[in-house]
Structure 1
Amino acid sequence: MGSVSLKIGDGTARFKRATFCSSAANILMIFSVITTNLFALYAFTASSNHNQTQLLHHNNKNFSLISEQVSLILREIDSSQKKLAQMEKELLGYESFDLSRPNIANELKVYLQHHQLPLGKDSKTGITEMVSSVGHFCEKNSDLLSQYMNYKAYGPCYDDWSVAQKLILKGCEPLPRRRCFTKTVSKVGLLHPFPNSLWKPIANKTVNWSGLSCKNFPCLNGKKLGKDCIGCFDLVNGFENQRFIKGRSKNDFLIDDVLVLGSGGIRIGFDVGGGSGTFAARMADRNVTVISATLNIDAPFSEFIAARGLFPLYLSLDHRFPFYDNVFDLVHASSTLDVGGKPEKLEFLMFDIDRVLRPGGLFWLDNFYYANEEKKKALTQLIEWFGYKKLKWVVGEKADNGKSVVVLSAVLQKPVRV
């Protein structure tokens, strides 16, 4: 082994022979380098293995924690979906009825069975089945409802319209459909052709009198059936055939005076609590179609209106009107608007009237009785909230059972809201 010596100047290089000491030193240095490298390699390898073990353990721990969190989230989502589905069922009446109870009529069980959607799950709502329409409060009156639904399928229905109306007045609306034939009343040769039918007397035989105290129209004409129905079935004698064309007080607006106030013309209207249909008949004389909301409270109002060739709508004033928004040119209401109870009850009704009345349409409030100052304040404040334009507004007095009561008559125009 020799060392290399570079001598600058003469351009030559000479090798010297290595001595024993220098060789031993070189061997020791090489051994030290190798030993150091071996220790470093061992240390690195040992450390790497330890770190990998720790990292693997840490990763496994993190993965376990993540899995637990994901599982927890999935369980929460599943629980929320179940809660939402249950809420939906409760709101829609999916499980309102306990159909396992022994007093539930078989026809009611058949009617309330769930039916799968023909095309499967609806992608927007997630609903998979259809449920028959039935009022929420029907469940509260299940015994009476079972009585109504206890009939022989495909046979004649029991003469129980009074049971149906009792359910409606208890909030069971809409009623379930039935698979039986309703009792018919022959009207052949008894109905007059339109428009003569509007003011011709109605034959007693055209009406089903079961469940009513009176069995003929003369009996009804001798009764006061409400503030707006005194002799209202008498189309020949009395004041009924003069209503809306001849006033008895300043609060009795004439129909032609109101029609000229209509912006854009009056074509279709809705009479809230239409009595015997005289308002609709007056409008029909002027080529305006009016639907009359009514019930058969102590009298056959619906059949009487239909016999006149008019459109009766059989529903209570607690029912949301089955019409789309902003469709009627005119809504007429009288003291039947006074539904009693808290002011909020009147508000719900008034907001639904406002909903079906088109912008620019007329709301005719006809002889509304102010029972007290509280009702007066509630109604007038409500009208102010709506922002209706007051086209006519008359407060006066009217006799009622020998007493003088305050009444309001008004024609209001619905504004355009943006």
Structure 2
Amino acid sequence: MGSVSLKIGDGTARFGRASLCSSALNLVMLFSVLTTNLFALYAFTSSSTNQPLRYTHRNISLISEHVSLILREIDSSQKKLARMEKELLGYQNIDVSRSNVAKELKLFLQHHPLPLGKDSRTGITEMVSSVGHSCEKSMELLSQYMNYKVGGACPDDWSLAQKLISRGCEPLPRRRCFAKAIPKVGLLPFPLSLWKPVNDKIVSWSGLDCKSFDCLNSKKVGRGCVGCFDLVNGTEKHRFIKARSKNDFLVDDVLALGSGGIRIGLDLGGGSGSFAARLAERNVTVVTTALNVDAPFNEFIAARGLFPLFSSLDQRLPFYDNAFDLVHTVNGLGDGGHPEKMEFLMFDIDRILRAGGLFWLDNFYCADEERKRTLMRLIERFGYKKLKWVVGQKVDAAGMGKSLVYLSAILQKPVRV
């Protein structure tokens, strides 16, 4: 036998030929094993010849019972594993056995075995469709949403879908019906479409109090949208290029702070899409998240030639890690509620923002001193570099004209290893 050398660090471990001592030890161990087996064989044959036949049958019966018990335990374990797999996949979040559950919802949620059996990578044995776990709390609305004619026209119920989303039922189940197709009359080519009035006929207006954009411009549609559909005579025309207060940062100044250039961005709760329009003029692609709360925000953003994302901020952002150079939000972090909810969202923003990317907190409303301190502690926790930081007061255009405290900041995500 030759020697085997294993290089370990700076030393070498070497196994030489077996020594005389080790060979003797092996012989002793072999002798012990053989002796033990011979004694065991003798004891077994001796007991089998001396015991009556009925004891032999009893032993066989006991062995049979033990085997049956083991098989039952194996079967029970397999069932428990299958149940755990279903719970992890979300099969049992929604009870589809109820009498009031729509047939289409049952069909959509029904799980199907994989055609080639168990997947070797994930260990999954069945296919399952995605649906929000909070849908269980709104089963009546969900069944109403899934009650339609297959292959026919979808009900005019976008407001119902939005109500489900606002209650945490997100994602919604898919439907096998055709959404109402509205002729897009008067759409303008890009980039002319960015700052021209949008035709009222591109929106169905069902479920809304207003039936035109002129009507919307005469109303207050939330704190972040006051006259935001007026692209000609309203304040949108000068947003991000002309400051009205020290809290208003100019888009060109912010882009100049970008490390490695700003190419793609995300605008959380971006109103009518004016931030995305300003960035589009500077060859930066921006996705704008919006819900149609009291106004057709998504249709308006799309008519301007921009990218709307019909989504709430309560779900995980549907983007991969480190994807964006810039994330912008006005009051997208929320107007109240628990600090933990803001923390979950902030961690998700950090996830999709690349190292060196910018987080633009634009005129964040500080309802009280505690809210301001909570936000500041959260920002400090992430270790972002403060490129701009302004706390100031300005008159609330959506309120009663009183002075309110706002925070604006440009924060740069650090490199973490």
TM-score (norm 1): 0.83
Mapped partners of 2:158, 2:278: distance in 1: 29
The number of equivalent residue pairs is 370
Equivalence for 2:306? 310
Shift of 1:118: 2.2
User: Cα deviations across residues 86-111 of structure 1 (Å, max 9, x unaligned)?
Assistant: 23322322123332322111211221
Equivalence for 1:161? 158
Mapped partners of 2:384, 2:64: distance in 1: 62
Shift of 1:143: 1.1
**3-state secondary structure, aligned to 2:234:** coil
Equivalence for 1:178? 175
Give the stretch that moved more between structures: 326-335 or 77-86. Answer: 77-86
Equivalence for 1:204? 200
Given candidates 104, 110, 123, the residue that maps to 1:126 is 123
Q: Is the 8 A contact 2:335 2:365 kept in 1?
A: no
Equivalence for 2:11? none
User: Cα deviations across residues 241-299 of structure 1 (Å, max 9, x unaligned)?
Assistant: 10000000000000000000000000000001010000000000000000001000000
Equivalence for 1:412? 411
Equivalence for 2:46? 52
Give the stretch that moved more between structures: 330-339 or 210-219. Answer: 330-339
- Are residues 394 and 118 of structure 1, via their aligned partners in 2, closer, same or farther at CA, if it must alter by over 3 Å? same
Mapped partners of 1:202, 1:118: distance in 2: 49
Give the stretch that moved more between structures: 82-91 or 157-166. Answer: 82-91
Matches within 5 A, 1:94-109: 94-109=91-106
- Check if 1:325 corresponds to 2:321: yes
Given candidates 84, 87, 90, the residue that maps to 1:87 is 84
User: Cα deviations across residues 135-194 of structure 1 (Å, max 9, x unaligned)?
Assistant: 111122111111111111111111110011111111111111111111111114x10000
- Check if 1:117 corresponds to 2:117: no
Equivalence for 1:403? 402
Mapped partners of 2:249, 2:284: distance in 1: 17
Shift of 1:354: 0.5
- Check if 1:376 corresponds to 2:350: no
- Are residues 50 and 357 of structure 1, via their aligned partners in 2, closer, same or farther at CA, if it must alter by over 3 Å? closer
Q: Is the 8 A contact 1:339 1:346 kept in 2?
A: no
Matches within 5 A, 1:199-348: 199-348=195-344
**3-state secondary structure, aligned to 1:214:** coil
- Give the greater-gyration-radius structure (CA): 1
- Check if 1:144 corresponds to 2:113: no
Shift of 1:224: 1.4
Gaps spanning 5+ residues in structure 2: where?
Answer: 1-41
User: Cα deviations across residues 69-99 of structure 1 (Å, max 9, x unaligned)?
Assistant: 8876765565444334323322322123332
Q: Is the 8 A contact 1:244 1:282 kept in 2?
A: yes
- Are residues 59 and 388 of structure 1, via their aligned partners in 2, closer, same or farther at CA, if it must alter by over 3 Å? farther
| Counterpart amino acid of residue 363 in structure 1 | F
Query: What percent of counterpart residues are identical?
Result: 72
Q: Is the 8 A contact 2:131 2:173 kept in 1?
A: yes
Shift of 1:67: 8.6
Equivalence for 2:359? 363
Given candidates 367, 385, 389, the residue that maps to 1:389 is 385
Mapped partners of 1:124, 1:49: distance in 2: 50
Mapped partners of 1:60, 1:404: distance in 2: 94
Give the stretch that moved more between structures: 198-207 or 103-112. Answer: 103-112
Mapped partners of 2:95, 2:384: distance in 1: 47
- Are residues 60 and 136 of structure 1, via their aligned partners in 2, closer, same or farther at CA, if it must alter by over 3 Å? same
Give the stretch that moved more between structures: 216-225 or 283-292. Answer: 216-225
Shift of 1:340: 2.4
Q: Is the 8 A contact 2:323 2:352 kept in 1?
A: yes
Equivalence for 1:27? none
Shift of 1:195: 0.4
| Counterpart amino acid of residue 381 in structure 2 | W
User: Cα RMSD between the aligned structures?
Assistant: 2.5
- Are residues 154 and 395 of structure 1, via their aligned partners in 2, closer, same or farther at CA, if it must alter by over 3 Å? same
**3-state secondary structure, aligned to 1:336:** coil
Mapped partners of 1:126, 1:72: distance in 2: 27
| Counterpart amino acid of residue 214 in structure 2 | P
Q: Is the 8 A contact 2:182 2:204 kept in 1?
A: yes
Matches within 5 A, 1:349-360: 349-360=345-356
